[in-house]
Amino acid sequence: MIPPKKYLVTTSEEIFRFTPDEGYRPILDDRRIVLVGVHACDINAIRILDSVYLEEPEDIFYRRRRENTLIVGISCEPDEFCFCRSVGADSAQNGFDLFMYDLGDRYLIESGSTKGEKILRDLGLRQPDSADFVQLRRAMHERDLKFRKSLNAYGLPQIVDSNPTSEVWTRYSEKCLACGTCTLVCPTCRCYSVDEWKELTGECLRCRRWDSCFLRSHALVAGGLNFRPTRTDRFRHRYNCKSSIEWSTGRLFCVGCGRCSAFCPAEIDHVEVLNSLVHLSVMSA
């Protein structure tokens, strides 16, 4: 249910402590982590998080965890909710250390970093031959035929952005519970809030935790103004965010994992909402 991002941006974490004598002290996590079995969509999601947290100003907490994390990807087959192929996230070219392609009775392993190359050298595995690559192509073709869900993503950022008053938003937001589940299970959602408090010892703490744009408090600012006051406003905003282009990868912020649809208590299907919007846009044009 919860994507691998929870190991890189934890649900709640102390980031600074402050005392008058010592000043600010960042709290860095030095644990070394190996993530095994990460799907291609989640690897692409981590690449998006990299572009957010590692650009200026760099997030030192994310950087430390990312450097201490070894990612081992694995090929997978689509389920009833997955549409990663529609958004180009069904394969990963980088963002991992090792990637294992399941060939049935063996794995073809690709290295994606110097750390991954060293591991392969130390393991002393045999080099793949032409038969292995033929089997890989066959396995990937068979997997592609199993996708049951498809998103019409052509021109999607422009369509979503240019239809703020579409009845699609009202129709589906009336079903929405505004619980924020979809944002919590999303591998690319990155909103967080920051809290500070002072302990009886005089030491001050700064903590950040995951937040959701579906919660009314998220857009509440000083003076009581809320620039997304209605559930429809917040519903439309999330779809606008997921359908926008991440500039460094050139891909949508949605990687098509299908978690938001799978775990929505109101059974709102992400692909159904966007395909409905695209269909109405074409009809009106």
Q: Which residues pair with 72 in a beta bridge?
A: 36, 98
Question: pLDDT-based confidence at 5, cuts 50/70/90?
Answer: very high
Q: Is residue 192 pLDDT above 70, yes or no?
A: yes
23 band by pLDDT with thresholds 50, 70 and 90: confident
**pLDDT tens, position by position, 203-252:** 999 999 999 999 999 999 989 999 999 999 999 999 999 999 887 777 89
pLDDT for residue 200:
86
Residues 245-260 have a mean pLDDT of 88
C-alpha of 247 from chain center: 15
- Using one digit for the tens of pLDDT, what is the confidence trace for 123-167? 989 999 999 999 999 999 999 999 999 998 888 999 999 999 999
Task: Give the mean model confidence (pLDDT) for residues 261-281.
Answer: 93
197 pLDDT more than 60: yes
Q: What is the pLDDT of residue 283?
A: 64
Judged against a pLDDT cut of 90, whether residue 274 lies above it is answered with: yes
Lowest average pLDDT, out of 36-40, 107-111, 199-203, 244-248, goes to 244-248
**Contact, 71 vs 187, CB < 8 A?**
no
pLDDT value at position 68? 96
pLDDT of residue 21: 83
- pLDDT score of 282: 66
Mean local confidence (pLDDT), 245-271: 91
- Over 80: is that where the pLDDT of 281 sits? no
pLDDT tens digits for 47-93? 999 999 998 889 999 999 999 999 999 999 999 999 999 999 999 99
Percent of the chain with pLDDT over 70: 99
The CA distances from residue 48 to 5, 58, 61, 189, 239, in Å, are 11, 14, 16, 10, 17
In angstroms, the first-to-last Cα distance of the chain is: 39
Q: What is d(CA 108, CA 127) in angstroms, rounded to the nearest whole number?
A: 9
Model-wide pTM > 0.85: yes
